[in-house]
Amino acid sequence: MLASSANRSTMATILLVEGDDQVRVLTGSFLEQQGHRLLSAGTPDGAIAILKKTEHVDLLFTDVDLKGEISAGIDLAADAKHIHHNLKVLYTTDRALTDGMKARFVEGSAFLEKPYTVEQLATALVVHFRINSVINHH
């Protein structure tokens, strides 16, 4: 019984926070196609509102740079961990990260550099957080 449950995919509730509407829609569609429950926001305030009203969120996938605020995603992740203590965090950005920014990442988080492919995103979810996707049989 343990072996069969270990082989089953773990679907996750993922909060995607991305200031670029097109990136948010494309990434969100991919995550939904992979069988995840998607919540999304374009701003830190929107993300906090979702976190406060949602009982369970597995992963916060946030851009570091939101609406021109260079480290808004880092602050968001710290605030989000106060709401959901077991929340996992995956950061992304196309900017160069400073050591000071990396030092502010929440414990146990990971980073995926932009631009990323859907394959790189899927791999990051599995490798860093053991979050699998639906295996499509075509």
| Bond before 44 cis per omega within 30 degrees | no
> Could you list the pLDDT tens digit for every one of the 138 residues in the chain?
333 344 345 589 999 999 999 999 999 999 999 999 999 999 999 999 999 999 999 999 999 999 788 899 999 999 999 999 999 999 999 999 999 999 999 999 999 999 999 999 999 999 999 999 875 544
Report pLDDT for 10.
Answer: 52
Predicted structure pTM score: 0.90
What are the CA-CA distances from residue 69 to residues 65, 73, 132 (Å)? 6, 8, 31
Report pLDDT for 75.
Answer: 97
**Which domains occur in the chain, in start order?**
2-129 (3.40.50.2300)
Q: Which of 40, 10, 8 minimizes the C-alpha distance to 126? A: 10
